[in-house]
Amino acid sequence: MHLHKYEKIWLVFGLGSLALFLVVIGFAAFWKGTHPQSHIETIDPQNIEANESFKPENLGLTEVADGKYVVNIVASAFNYDLGKEEDGSPTKTIRVPKGSTVLFQITTRDVVHGFQVAGTNVNMMVEPGHISRYETVMKNDGDFTIVCNEYCGIGHHLMFGTVEVY
Ligand code: CUA
């Protein structure tokens, strides 16, 4: 079979692109640790407090074992409820030691929000009726900004927080 020169170029281009994309996906999944969050568990968005993890007193950071933490978060327009400071005021900062394993569990009361911890591999979509979960190891120290990366309304840019790894 004779292949025209341009056919060969396009074949090489097509197969090359496919190979390149597979390498990019493999790099993201196996090297950077990027995986889709779990969408298995559902929740009633009208009655979030019925779920043990999202009762007001259980929001925010909890150390569950040595070096292992759970962070329960409720997103709503236009705020992340990250729990309270020791004086009872709402906190905007989650503080964990470097090398900690942190499980983020988040749900929303109203519309679709995002939950991205910039500079880490935490990047979830938060949908009403679902609990989004993602576990990661905080390998680097520093301040990492939490941002909402799904446009959720007029106060979208007001949704932020910080993960402080020390
Ligand atoms: Cu919440 Cu954008």
Contacts of 40 (CB under 8 A, 6+ apart): none
Q: Are residue 31 and residue 63 in the same domain, yes or no?
A: no
The answer to whether residue 79 is domain-embedded is yes
Q: Does residue 43 form part of some domain?
A: no
Mind listing the pLDDT tens digit for each residue in 46-55? 999 999 999 9
pTM, whole model, 2 decimals?
Answer: 0.82
Task: Give 102 Cα–ligand 1 centroid separation in angstroms.
Answer: 22
CB 108 within 8 A of CB 44: no
Same domain, 53 and 98: yes
Summarised one tens digit per residue, pLDDT across range 85-118 is 989 899 999 999 999 999 999 999 999 999 999 9
Whether 81 lines ligand 1, by a CB cut-off of 6 Å, is no
Site of tokens 């056919």: 7
Separation between Cα atoms, residue 116 and residue 13, nearest integer Å: 34
C-beta 150 within 6 A of ligand 1: yes
Q: How far is the CA of 144 from the centre of ligand 1 (A)?
A: 17
Atom 1 of ligand 1, nearest CA residue: 113
Nearest ligand 1 atom, CA 75: 1
Residue 140 and residue 91 share a domain: yes
